[in-house]
Structure 1
Amino acid sequence: MKIALCSSFVPFVNGGYRQIVEWLETTLLEAGHEVDRVYLPEHDDPERLFKQMAAFRFVDLSAADRIICFRPQSHLLRHPHKIVWFIHHLRTFYDLWDVDAYRGFPDDLKHQGIRDALRSADTAALQEARKVFTNSRVVGERLRRFNGIDSEVLYPPVLRPERFYTDGFNDEIVCICRIEHHKRQQLLVQALPFCRTPVRLRLCGTSSTPGHVAALRDMARLQGTADRLSVEDEWITEDRKQELFAECLASAYLPVDEDSYGYPTLEAAHSGKAVLTTSDAGGVLEFVTHELNGLVTEADPLQVAAAMDRLYEDRELAARLGEAATARIAELKIEWRTVLERLLA
């Protein structure tokens, strides 16, 4: 079958939104299909929004037997056999509209009109799809609430999960993801002064926010905890990622109302490591259950510190939670066989 994998991208910003496409491409090629990737750049600027949407609308993919669309606004593509694996809305115009810090432009009649037109266009384009999947229940609920679209949850696996392994439990909590305000690495740094144990923190990933990494380092220095913070502010290779997860005490992933469980959660689980998260982390909570396969706290430095100390002091607990996290993957049927069965049905 000839399959086009279609998505949008932010130039020079990598992340899970690219990996879901690239890993599916690899899996489809191994299954004997012909695959092409189709990317168009995307920016949330209201003034450019409809030009970008029109660009997707005019792309001709009639040579493909089916197309699979991921990141917005790729679902605006036209094709008689369009499948959507929806990973999030342009959230500024949806659930984050009332949050001034995220919206970044006035809540006036002009922008309300842009918002309403965008939502109408999204709904119409999604209704064209043969089938709509989402990467989490959280995203599925947003689709139903804002667009009246029913969907099926299809959890995205990691590529070749057998490459992850466990190699003991050192003194570090690792956080491996893009270093951004909404990923809340700052909450982990703020927790360090409240830790009673010598537990360490390692932050790994790139940042698109100028000065953010330097601000985290300065925060640790001013708190007197710089000696317990390590930062690798670069793209983390798969080999390095496997090593970090294998040796760490646990993984921390504390985003604000995340769209899905996030690849860091799954990669930690494949490595037999528990995940520390917060009660407002959105889709992460579809995977992590408190004291079953991870620890869930309020988004408060004192509570996060207490959880870090608990993992440091009780390595048997850390190991037990990690084993349960691995078992959770099978429980949710997070595997490529399931993905191909549903997307190609």
Structure 2
Amino acid sequence: MAPTVLVCEAQVPFVRGGAEALVRELVTQLERHGCLVERVSVPFKWYPKQELMAHAAAWRLLDLSESCGRPIDLVIPTKFPTYCVRHPHKVTWLMHQYRAAYDLCGTEYADFDHREEDTAVRERIRALDREMLGECAAVYTISRTTSDRLTRFNGVPSTPLYHPSPLAPKLRSGPYGDYFLSVGRLETVKRVDLAIEAMAHVPPPMRLLIAGEGTFRHGLETRIEQLGLQDRVALLGAVDERTLIDLYAGARGVVFAPFDEDYGYVTLEAFEARKPVVTATDSGGVLEFVDHGVNGLVCPPEAASVGACLAELAQHPGRAAALGEAGYDSTRAISWDGVVAALTAGLARREEPPVA
């Protein structure tokens, strides 16, 4: 009989990004490996801050040990607060914790700072994370960056499992055109404004095309106007899959310089399309794949520095092509097979008969 698996997702209604894509693809891959899989989604709201513990309690109330009398063999939580769920065999594959209570606390990217009321909520979240993750049969993460945070803040050991982008089989290479590409949600932590400001240091006719939507769009529109870059920077909004594939194929390179990214499909997608990636020294998980001068360029998170890297690729298309080819080669070993094998390893052990 096929093992039964539930993938647990904290869902923000009407938001679609890398996290949602990961959960959908994980379900698909588990099914491909012979599991009977369902996705369990609970809407997530993080404001006001007291809602965070209420949402954790909602997950804790869920007993997913069986359904209609059939045992559920495995649950896979993916981020806060899904790992609060009750189950005797819980294996977490962590995208990230609630980062505002951790590494983003006190930064411009979070609504948590070091006031007394914030500190109280933050400490409750951290204590809860230690307890709930401590219940897990195993803890995996999507990147070394996420694992490092778990060790640093919670003392919880974990193992990174890299996985390919859902777009990987469809991406293709193309000419190294007259534009750079930025892909992702338009939120402050993604620092798309840094890419825009960098274009002021890149000579024409190179352009920047930005694919994605988000709450920071108006601020980006204002910045483009302030810099007088309306003819060279375009906000395309959300684009369909076919358009995104075409955009990757025709780009000179991809600029992706978020602040301390957990993983970032954009890097892997760029490499699948044989495009170099320009990123920053504090971009977290991106740096687990981008090797400066080998398959991309890494620089300080400053407009002039990013602009200089883009200008180098603008002036030397052959260099862009060589870096992009190296990027493609560097990700060949990443596959879903190892991820599924690790997450489901305990199932085989549970099914083994006891030794007499």
Fold-level match, TM-score > 0.5? Answer: yes
CA–CA separation in structure 1 for the residues paired with 2:245 and 2:113: 44
Counterpart of 1:31 (choices 5, 24, 33) is 33
1:108 maps to which residue? 115
Asked if structure 2 preserves the Cα contact closer than 8 Å seen for 1:72 and 1:90, the reply is yes
Deviations 1:262-315 (A, max 9, x none): 001111111111111111111110110111110111111111111111111111
2:166 maps to which residue? 159
CA–CA separation in structure 1 for the residues paired with 2:128 and 2:210: 39
C-alpha RMSD of the superposition: 1.4
Kindly provide the amino acid, as one letter, of the partner of residue 252 in structure 1: V
Counterpart of 1:121 (choices 124, 128, 142) is 128
Counterpart of 1:94 (choices 99, 102, 110) is 102
2:260 maps to which residue? 257
Kindly provide the amino acid, as one letter, of the partner of residue 87 in structure 1: M
1:334 to 2:341 alignment: no
Q: Partner of 1:115: helix, strand, or coil? A: helix
Q: CA deviation at 1:160?
A: 5.8
1:180 maps to which residue? 187
Q: Partner of 1:7: helix, strand, or coil? A: strand
CA–CA separation in structure 2 for the residues paired with 1:250 and 1:194: 16
CA–CA separation in structure 2 for the residues paired with 1:221 and 1:304: 20
CA–CA separation in structure 2 for the residues paired with 1:160 and 1:179: 20
2:247 maps to which residue? 244
1:268 to 2:270 alignment: yes
CA–CA separation in structure 1 for the residues paired with 2:256 and 2:20: 19
Q: CA deviation at 1:105?
A: 5.1
Asked if structure 2 preserves the Cα contact closer than 8 Å seen for 1:294 and 1:325, the reply is yes
Identity %: 34
| TM-score, normalised with respect to structure 1 | 0.94
Kindly provide the amino acid, as one letter, of the partner of residue 42 in structure 2: L
CA–CA separation in structure 1 for the residues paired with 2:135 and 2:324: 42
In structure 2, stretches of 5+ residues that fail to align are 67-71, 346-356
CA–CA separation in structure 1 for the residues paired with 2:235 and 2:135: 45
Asked if structure 2 preserves the Cα contact closer than 8 Å seen for 1:197 and 1:309, the reply is no
C-alpha change, 1:160 and 1:103, in structure 2 (3 Å) is closer
Counterpart of 2:312 (choices 294, 304, 310) is 310
Kindly provide the amino acid, as one letter, of the partner of residue 250 in structure 1: G
Q: CA deviation at 1:190?
A: 1.1
| TM-score, normalised with respect to structure 2 | 0.91
Q: Partner of 1:120: helix, strand, or coil? A: helix
C-alpha change, 1:216 and 1:111, in structure 2 (3 Å) is closer
Asked if structure 2 preserves the Cα contact closer than 8 Å seen for 1:17 and 1:71, the reply is no
Asked if structure 2 preserves the Cα contact closer than 8 Å seen for 1:257 and 1:281, the reply is yes
Asked if structure 1 preserves the Cα contact closer than 8 Å seen for 2:109 and 2:188, the reply is no
1:82 to 2:85 alignment: no
Asked if structure 2 preserves the Cα contact closer than 8 Å seen for 1:197 and 1:312, the reply is no
In structure 1, stretches of 5+ residues that fail to align are none
Counterpart of 2:200 (choices 180, 188, 193) is 193
Q: CA deviation at 1:106?
A: 5.8
Q: Partner of 2:10: helix, strand, or coil? A: strand
Q: Partner of 1:102: helix, strand, or coil? A: coil
Q: CA deviation at 1:205?
A: 0.4
Asked if structure 2 preserves the Cα contact closer than 8 Å seen for 1:249 and 1:273, the reply is yes
Q: CA deviation at 1:148?
A: 1.0
2:227 maps to which residue? 223
CA–CA separation in structure 2 for the residues paired with 1:299 and 1:199: 21
Kindly provide the amino acid, as one letter, of the partner of residue 339 in structure 1: V
Kindly provide the amino acid, as one letter, of the partner of residue 51 in structure 1: A
